[in-house]
Amino acid sequence: MRSPKLLLSGALCALAAVAFTAAGGCDEEPVPLFDEQGTWVLQLFDIDGKGLTKFDVGTREGKFMIHYDQASTVVASAGCLDSMGRTDITQTLCDTGKYACRCFTYEFTEKQMIWTEFAPEGGALPPAPPEDAGVPAPGEAVTFAVEAYPESGATYRYSTLPYGLFNSDGDPAASEFVFQSRGDQPFLATGCMDVCGIAVAAPEAGG
C-alpha cells in the first residue's frame, strides 16, 4: 500500500500554511487519484470511438485484467487465449484456460499514467503499429489520463491503453477502457505475474 506519509502530505501542508506565513511554503508530493495496487478487471470498453460497451459474450467477462505491483512499479496484463490463438476482446472464445501476458513499468502521478512495455520472460515485444498510426510503439513510453467512473465504485476510466493491448489503437480519441478493482486470485491463475517479474506473496502458515 502507499505510504501514509504520502496520503497525509496534503493535509499536513495545509496545516502548516495556516500556522506559518514564511516564504517557501510546503513541498507537497502529488498524490495519485487512487491506490492502484492489485488486480483490476476490464468491465467496459470503446475501441472504435462509438461509446463504451459491455462484452457481448459472457465467457469473455472477467478474462481481461491488469495487475499493479507498487513495490516493483510493474503492471502486468492478461487476456484470455482461445484454441485458434486469438486474444481479441471481441472474438476470442476463451476456451483454453491460457492467457497472453504483457508487461509494463509504470509511473502514476495525480490523474496521469505512463506505461513503458518490456518483454515478458521468455518472450518478445509485440509488433509495432503501422508507421502512420502516430502512436508509441511497444517499448516506448505511453502517457494517458485516468478518471473516476462515477456509475460504479472502485472503477476508473483510462483514456486509452498502449497499442494493441485489449484491442487499443493507442489513440485517446478512439479508445477508452473502464476497469474495476477485484481480488487477486483470478489474476494469479493466469501466470502473468511470474513472466512479468512480480513477486507472489507466500501463503501464511496454516492458511
CA distances, 193 to each of 38, 104, 202 (Å):
11, 11, 14
Q: Can you list the alpha helix ranges (DSSP code H) found in the chain? A: 4-19, 185-188, 192-195
Query: What's residue 13's pLDDT?
Result: 40
Q: Where are the domains of the chain?
A: 1-30, 32-195
Give the pTM.
0.84
DSSP codes, 2-18: --HHHHHHHHHHHHHHH
Low-confidence ranges of the chain (pLDDT < 70): 1-27, 201-207
Query: What's residue 202's pLDDT?
Result: 55
Domain 32-195 sits in CATH at: 2.40.128.280
Coil, helix or strand for 149? coil
DSSP 8-state code for residue 192? H
Q: Is 56 exposed, middle or buried (0-12, 13-18, 19+ CB in 10 A)?
A: exposed
Query: What's residue 29's pLDDT?
Result: 76
Query: What's residue 14's pLDDT?
Result: 39
Query: What's residue 153's pLDDT?
Result: 86
Hey, what's the cell of 197? 517479474
